[in-house]
Each structure stands twice: as C-alpha cells, then as structure tokens.
Amino acid sequence: MLPSDRDLTEKGLARQGSGSVLLLACGALAREILAIRDANGWTHLDLHCLPADLHLWPDRIPDAVEAAVTRYRDQYETIFVVYADCGTGGLLQARCDALGVEMVAGPHCYAFFDGVEAFASRAEDEMTAFYLTDFLVRQFDAFVWKPMGFDRHPELIPMMFGNYERLIYLAQTDDAALDAKARGCAARLGLAYERRVTGYGDLALALARL
C-alpha cells in the first residue's frame, strides 16, 4: 500500500532495507518511485524522501540533501538524488558534485516526466502554460492555492496568472478522478485545460540505469 500524500508532504518517507542503492528523493515523487521500483522488482533500491514542501523554499533543498547524504552515506554503496534543479539555480547540482553523488537531469519534474528533450522542444509554444503532475493535482490546495493566497485573496488570481493561457496536466497515471480534479483546477485559475499522458518519462529511465 502506498503512503498517503499527507505522510509524504509533512513527514517525508523512509523505507530502509537491504538495498545497496539509496534513492534520496523529493516526497512529491514517492508514489511514482515506489510504483516503478516495485513493478520491476528492484529490491536493491531503497527510498528516503525529504518533505515535498521544501519546494516552497527551494533555497533550502541543497542543505537538506547534503544532510541526508551525510546521514546515509556509510549505509549504501550508492546514493542517487531524485531531484532535478527544482528552482535552486544550479546550487543543487553544485552541491551534489561536491558530495560526489549523481542526480536526475533536468530543470524540474515537469521536464523529466515529459522527457527532458521533448519538454525543451515545446518550450517556445508553451511559454504561457502552467503545469501540474499527479501529485500537484492531488495537493493543489496545499501547494498552489493556499501558498499563493488565493483562498484569502482571489483577486490575486488575475494578477498572478494573467499571462498564463493553459493549464497542462502531465499525467503519470490514467486516472479519471485526477483528470476531473485537474480540469477543476484549470477552471479555478481561469485557464484552458489540456491533459498529456506522460507516464514516468525519464524518471523510469534514470532508475533503470541504477
């Protein structure tokens, strides 16, 4: 049974076992990582997640990753950081280089779910798009609506989203309920709606290499 989004967001997730590789990941990716790992029987991969709400303060991500690498380094042959740049402006890559650990390539999870090259090729056509993943659809209120103050000041929506035209839901799973919720998120923001089924994209490829 997968953990609840509340657990992933507020507490992070630690699953220690006999694996020789530790996946040090964002809590927003836990469901997807566990699904990929378990579907392939990759028992050599263990998972430790940092709280997903670190994305509200991306400057804190490098220090949090370093603390976790330091804590677990002696227990594993390899530590792989399952974060992209995630708004750190290159600081996370520099920290991982200094620590001698690898990380997922790409600017953010939207890119590696969609495929980094494919995402980059569409960048010019999607400059006015706002993206959601499965996790962000489930946690829309906690990670978008309330942090941006829309629950208290809906008049901020046209100010902050006035230059957006579309909400693109990058779907990891084919889930009618999530599709309906994502469509509702678009309506709340006053945006046109588009759904693109990406599956796990480059994330699955990165884990396969381990």
Mean pLDDT check: name the lowest of 14-23, 60-69, 148-157, 182-191: 14-23
Return the pLDDT at 155.
97
Do 16 and 41 share a domain, yes or no?
yes
* Angle between helix 201-208 and helix 30-40 axes, rounded to 10 deg: 50
What predicted TM-score, i.e. pTM, was given to this entire model? 0.89
Strand, coil or helix: what is 71?
A: helix
Q: Is the residue at 178 inside a domain?
A: yes
Do 40 and 126 share a domain, yes or no?
no
Do 97 and 132 share a domain, yes or no?
no
Do 99 and 116 share a domain, yes or no?
no
The 10s digit of each residue's pLDDT in 83-92 is 999 999 999 9
Average the pLDDT over 73-90 and give the result: 96
Return the pLDDT at 13.
47
Return the pLDDT at 12.
46
Q: Is the residue at 86 inside a domain?
A: yes
CA atoms of 39 and 63, how far apart (whole Å):
32
Average the pLDDT over 158-164 and give the result: 96
Q: Is the residue at 210 inside a domain?
A: no
Do 70 and 93 share a domain, yes or no?
yes
What is the helix, strand, coil percentage profile of the chain, to 5?
Answer: 50, 20, 35
Q: Is the residue at 203 inside a domain?
A: no
**Contact predicate 82/57, CB 8 Å:** no
Structural domain boundaries enclosing 26: 5-104
Confidence of residue 11 (pLDDT cuts 50, 70, 90): very low
Do 123 and 160 share a domain, yes or no?
yes
Confidence of residue 23 (pLDDT cuts 50, 70, 90): very high
